[in-house]
Amino acid sequence: MQVLVKNPYAIALPAKNVLASFWSDDCLYMDQAFSMTSLMELTDPLGLSPFLVVDARVAFTLYLLKKGRALYTRNAGALGALCGHIISGSAITHNEDPKKFDLYAKEYLPHAVEVPREPYDQIICFNSKTVDPVLWKKLEVGGFYILATTEGSLTVSPTGKFEAFGKIWPKGMPTEFGWKFTEENLGLAGLEIAKIKKLS
């Protein structure tokens, strides 16, 4: 299931037949009466696109980001990586196709995207069940590492000290270090996430 993420750099459009997600008013579910054509008709062809269309699981996980300085994303997709930049305001590096990312950046941003220097203050990895030790070393002390998977369970055991940052959500259930969703109708079924802070 896909959701609309508002682009703060574009002219705000009054989208119809949408409903705010439970995690952000800037992330919208499309109901059965929603028409993508209606958005296209309102959009200025010379302006920036007003919404990013992103997988609900990717969008939810990206909204765990905070405003930051240097972000690394893995397996978010080119549009998901760009969405991470928009949400966090961070300089970003990623493992996506650079040509696709640059095309999306031209469609959604009025500025060039900066590439950060290491260490990162945030790392987000999709389809990952464990903390990558190489990436963990590139995360600064005090930085956040976010894991997300839809297949199986997470194993959170990085080297050094860390602290889990959990939150109680209105759907799903807690896990040892994070949260897992089971509801099919939200597009989040099977998503397990964990956000940890590097302490040493």
Domain 56-198 has CATH 3.40.50.150: yes
DSSP state of 114: P
Q: What is the pTM of this model?
A: 0.92
124 has which bridge partners?
73, 146
Quick check: 29 and 21 in contact, CB under 8 A?
yes
End-to-end CA, the chain: 38
Residues 2-23 pLDDT 10s: 999 999 999 887 788 899 999 9
**Dist CA 136 CA 198 (whole Å):** 8
Residues 13-69 pLDDT 10s: 778 889 999 999 999 999 888 877 766 666 666 689 999 999 999 999 999 999 999
What is the enclosing helix (H) or strand (E) of 18? Answer: strand 18-20
